[in-house]
Amino acid sequence: MGESWSNRVALAHRACEPEEKPWPVVVFAHDEESQIITCLESLAKGSMAHPIYVYVLANGCNDKTEAVVRDFILDSPWVTLVSVTLGDKANAWNVFVHDIAHRAEVYFFVDGDARVVPGSFDALYSALERSPEANAAAAIPAVGRSKKLLAQFVCEYGLILGNLYALRGDFVLKVKQSGARLPIGYIGEDGLVS
């Protein structure tokens, strides 16, 4: 399964004490200095009905992603930077699930170069509410040449796309309790989660 890098995690954040427990949003960022602010700004409108709290998992960044996020945090107490030494998305997923995740009803996972359409988190949450047997809900891209093909992957084959998906809190808790981890170096963590 590979080495656990959880002991090489550093957090930088400001306190956030919302009235209702926010939905955790995990952003995977590897060398995203030119994309991360646009991503974070889009997340602010990801839910029109519920507060969110964002964890940016900067994994193995060789650019200024972490500095950009630190500056953004100064005016955005709803964001935490998590510095993960190893540049590996599957490892970053493991670090969040096993070392950071607190008990939540739902978790959202987003790529640092993605833009979230307003209300996307609400729609994913509603999909999980309508299907209590489901552990996950995946978003379909709003634009792009591959939109039709990706919609087929999600709707017909039940696959999760790594750009934006939600996992039910009970499922994440079971993964954590079982000790299951994604293999380090595996490309396409979303396929394994599916």
Q: Are 22 and 77 in contact (CB under 8 A)?
A: no
The domain limits of the chain are 6-180
Number of neighbouring beta carbons within 10 Å of residue 155: 11
CATH annotation of 6-180: 3.90.550.10
pLDDT at 14: 39
Q: Is the per-residue pLDDT at 53 higher than 90? A: yes
Q: How far apart are CA 120 and CA 49, in angstroms?
A: 11
pTM summary value: 0.86
Mean pLDDT of the chain: 86
Instruction: Name the token pair of 162.
Output: 């790594």
